[in-house]
Amino acid sequence: MTTDSQPVPEPASSVTFINIFEVAAGQLDAFVAQWRQRAAIMSTKPGFLDSRLHRAQASESRFQLVNVAHWASREAWEAATADTEFRARTQAARDSSQVPITSNPGLYDVAVEFSAAQAEPR
């Protein structure tokens, strides 16, 4: 349980997919546009819960973009990533000389969770 009495998901249930991207500063907008297209495909798949692409505030940050997505299960994520259109688009992004990227993907379970402390009543 967390400090605000919200249960932490069991590892066997939902999973978090995190992918950290190294993208050249001049290519960020093009990459984000392509990412939107891939995310739109994934958002229609069974088991998709949500996704957010985070952009670094500092241009000198090594990792300019971080994708955090939640899926109902590892199996749902695996089935979605097996989609032929999605795989073709991700391969095209990797092979593109216009937008060279390095991605660092992985599935994660919550290990520790904290929420904002409740203010004491006055």
**Is the pTM here over 0.75, yes or no?**
yes
Full DSSP string of 18-78: EEEEEE-GGGHHHHHHHHHHHHHHHTTSTTEEEEEEEE-SSTT-S--EEEEEEES-HHHHH
- Is 18's pLDDT higher than 80? yes
- List pLDDT tens digits, range 45-65: 999 999 999 999 998 899 999
- Is 118's pLDDT higher than 90? no
pLDDT at 8: 47
More confident call, 117 vs 54: 54
pLDDT at 6: 54
- List pLDDT tens digits, range 70-113: 999 999 999 999 988 888 888 877 776 566 788 899 999 888 88
Taken in order 82, 84, 89, 91, the sign of the CA dihedral is positive
The answer to whether 56 and 12 have CB atoms below 8 angstroms apart is no
